[in-house]
Amino acid sequence: MKKIYRSEFLEEFRSGRREFSGILIQFCELECLDFPDLVIKNSKIEFTSFRDSNLKDVKFLNCEFFFVSFYGCELENTVFDKCRIDMARMDNMRVKNTKIINSSISLCGLMKTDTGEIDFRNTKEFKVIRNISELTPEDAMEIVKRLGMHSEALPIEVRIEVKNTVNRVMTEFSQKGVSDIPGKLAKGMYKTEKPYSRAEKMYGIFDSITESLMKYGESYKPKDERSTYKAKRKY
């Protein structure tokens, strides 16, 4: 599977290429962009944000998604077929005639998304949150656990960044370090909090981790290109 950098992906797409196969997209900020008629198949997309992008008529075929944000995206005639979608933000999406079929979707938020416009035929769901009130401390535990397991396959500097970021944001949002979570979170750390407060904390964790990892999207580029890329990033 070929790793494709943000700059390469956008350059090829803007030059007219519409179909990509067998690619790995990691740590990429692809927000507030238009991707008309894009087709990605047999690929992996990780730690990437399409936030507020136009994905109308886009097709994802036999793809794996992990820690990806589709928050606020426009999905009309969009298709996810034979995909595995783990820990994705799919809330506040504007959907019409969208299909997530023959797939699996787990630990994803679909709040304020009109799921009546989504065809989930033959799709298996695990802890898909459609209402904020469904959010539990155990969900936060599961997210942290999966994130840690998944990061083991990443480069050492990225693993360190994941660990440090998780510790930082968990301390910020729950006043507990990651090492203190087991057993304590499950006993009702957020028991007295309102559902919206829990949601804000969990999404704060998600967004903070995603943003901190974006810098690795061009990490293996020549130094001069990386410097230009970092100068354009907004933190």
Residue 95 backbone phi and psi in degrees, to 5: -115, 150
Domain limit, last residue, from 131, 146, 166: 131
Domain boundary among 131, 161, 187: 131
Spatial distance between the Cα atoms of 174 and 181, rounded to a whole number of angstroms: 9
pLDDT in tens, the chain (235 residues): 999 989 999 999 999 999 999 999 988 899 999 999 999 999 999 989 999 999 999 999 999 999 899 999 999 999 999 999 998 999 999 999 999 999 999 988 898 999 999 999 999 999 898 887 777 767 766 777 777 777 777 777 777 777 777 777 666 655 544 433 333 333 343 444 455 565 666 666 666 676 666 666 665 454 444 444 343 433 2
Residues composing the chain:
235
Asked if residue 216 and residue 190 are part of one domain, the reply reads yes
Residues 160, 76, single domain; the answer is no
| Residue numbers of the domain that contains 216 | 137-232
Of 134, 143, 113, the residue nearest 207 (C-alpha):
143
Looking at the structure, tell me whether residues 174 and 90 fall in a common domain: no
58 backbone φψ class: left, alpha, beta (φ>0; ψ -120 to 50): beta
CATH number at residue 72: 2.160.20.80
Report the SS3 class of residue 97: coil
Number of domains in the chain: 2
Q: Are residues 115 and 9 in the same domain?
A: yes
Query: Which residues does 137 contact at the CB level (< 8 Å), separation at least 6?
Result: 185, 186, 188, 189, 190, 198
- Whole-model pTM? 0.76
**In this structure, are 125 and 22 located in the same domain?**
yes
Characterize 99-108 residue by residue with b for buried, 16 or more Cβ atoms within 10 angstroms of its Cβ, and e for exposed: bbbebebbbb
pLDDT at 150: 73
If asked whether residues 51 and 163 sit together in one domain, one would say no
Residues 123, 24 within the same domain: yes
Do 118 and 154 sit in the same domain of this protein? no
